Structure 1
Amino acid sequence: MYESVLQLYIMSMYQLQQFHHHQQPMMKMDSMRKRERNKSVDKERLQVMDLSGMSLDFLPKPSLDLATICKLDLSNNNLQEIPESLTARLLNVIVLDVRSNQLKSLPNSIGCLSKLKVLNVSANFIQSLPKTIENCRALEEVNANFNKLSMLPDTIGFELINLKKLSVNSNKLMYLPSSTSHLTALKVLDARLNCLRALPEDLENLINLETLNVSQNFQYLETLPYSIGLLLSLVELDVSYNNIKILPESIGCLKKLQKLSVEGNPLTCPPMEVVDQGLHVVMEYMQHKINSSDENKSKKKGWMVKIVKCGTFNIKHVRHGKRPEHAGYNMLKHQKINGLASPGLMGMLSPLRIFSPRRSFD
């Protein structure tokens, strides 16, 4: 009798253990499904708030939780300010559009928008961007066209490491901050219709830049930095309607360049008869200038000496094979850029890239 009871007890304990063994993964699956459902609910809760074109002079009290807004469109109104308290609560906003208002400044609390990717503040009266914008490290696109900007935050390039497009055309900018050259993700830089006196000297870090437009700075912009020739991803360069007399010879290094706009400048090098024959002839002309600049080497201690000393270009013309000749310029011969001395590798090994302030923050 005692033995049979003991046997029943052991069997029941074994069955209970087996039941728990099978139930445990099922409970885990249930908890995972609940978490997934909660995530999907959270995504569904994020909403778009469109208050554009309503002639608003001030913002009404929102009827929903500001933390649930992923896109806020306040464009085409008469807003003169955006409350600090409102911006600080837009914790999940990804797109903020306040273009075409009467704004003279942006709230400092914009630095709280850690998820913000697109900011459009164009067509306002903004004189400067708040320094706190550097905290918006998820930013990929900034459109500040048609404002009254006279400067950008000095260290903007050290912080906005994901920025791909920066449009600041039609403002009053005299200079771009030197930190602009550290925007390594940047693909488009549009700074036309300003009062730019110069561009940052060290552009070689802009390894992804495809479009550079600094046209229509009129009498103010007289020179381009030699490092412009190390923008090896550059496809489109527009420097038209400035006061540039001489293009840097390094432009001949831009292998991917497909469009070069230089009209409206008092160019002497290259001469207009070369420019009129198209991009290919201009590129050959600039490459030939590098190859034949022996007498100028002693004067050029910067990029020119680096390129020539490393053997990127051969001083002697290539004599193998024949090249098609062009009317007006038929003596152009150059050697292809390749090997360890290419400007791409030189840009990667640049002291400014290795010791950039952004690295020190890492």
Structure 2
Amino acid sequence: MSTTPLRLTAPDAALAALLAHVGAPVPARHLLVAAALGHVLAEPLRAAGPVPAAPVALRDGWAVVAAETEGAGPYAPLPLMTTPRRVAAGDPLPTPANAVLPPFDLVLEGPFAQALQAIAPGEGVRGVGEEMGAGHVLRHAGERLAARDLPALAMLGVAGVAVRAPRCAWIATGDEIVADPTRDTLAPVFAALLGALGAELRVRPPVPDDPAAIAAALHAAVADHDVLLLVGGTGEGAGDRSAAGLADAGTLDVHGIGARPGMTAGGGAVACRPVLLLPGRAEDALAAWVLLLRPLLLDLMGVAAPTPATARLARSVASTVGLAELVPLRLGPDGAEPLALGALPAGALAAADGILVVPAASEGYEAGATIPICPL
């Protein structure tokens, strides 16, 4: 059987071809707050009213009328005309109290409670709207829900939120993986990468190196997913049939990108769903993640590409014009240290803090240059 030849496309053009199949961000889904952590919000989180809506105790103690404590001290206990109420932190303040006296600053002896310390109005109290004012936007649409947002959501009584979480089908190819699915060591890696980004990876049954079987697997997955990841068999070897399977199922827009590593990546669409040809080798697959998949998922979430961080290059990087080259970087006191050029070997990858993508038209960077850093 003939294979589909590689025709290198610039990474930016390859990404544009995939994005052409994205008409709009994925529809919003409602998740419970705990399940939505790290996901991109589809709607702003806004306080409908002030929080708290009425004054509450900021500490445990006695709810008192502050004016009645004026002049009180340890050696001059002052009887209170208004009966104090014991309150715990967070309790509504009873009328007409306007302060919370610490527990040890009041004694219950004789017919009246006695204050042992003066207190100012509002002391020990959280006033109306001091946590959040009415209309306060806690998070805008497109931002990620963080653990530090949980106390505010609890105060607002929010149990669930709307998020945009692309669903990605993982379809590994290869007769050897069909025989032993544990040989698919990339799925856990991408499950973690996608989960950290706020997307969802769903592992489908592996398929053999057969275009018809691959096409059938793509058709079976397309209805329930926003992106299809076809993994392995993306090269030009006799057993590499993924590109042919995609062409049979839909459209093959790109087979081969002008990048090192990641050269055999590609993509197209099935039933208007973007399909990414993900190489089976880890370093090539991770290059496709940096150059194609992560930007595609951010677009599906409705999130603008973040401004990359920058660092000073510790050593010069010489690159060959014609191919974009990925450089793993370790950040240290002397700047960003290149660990490899045009490769992501496992040891360098494990030590890296980020990636430099050297554009295809560049001959590299001199030591001391300020460079953009892509996250891993």
Normalization by structure 1: what TM-score?
A: 0.22
User: Comparing both structures, which one devotes a greater share of its residues to strand?
Assistant: 2
Q: Which has the higher contact order (CA 8 A, sep 6+)?
A: 2
Normalization by structure 2: what TM-score?
A: 0.21
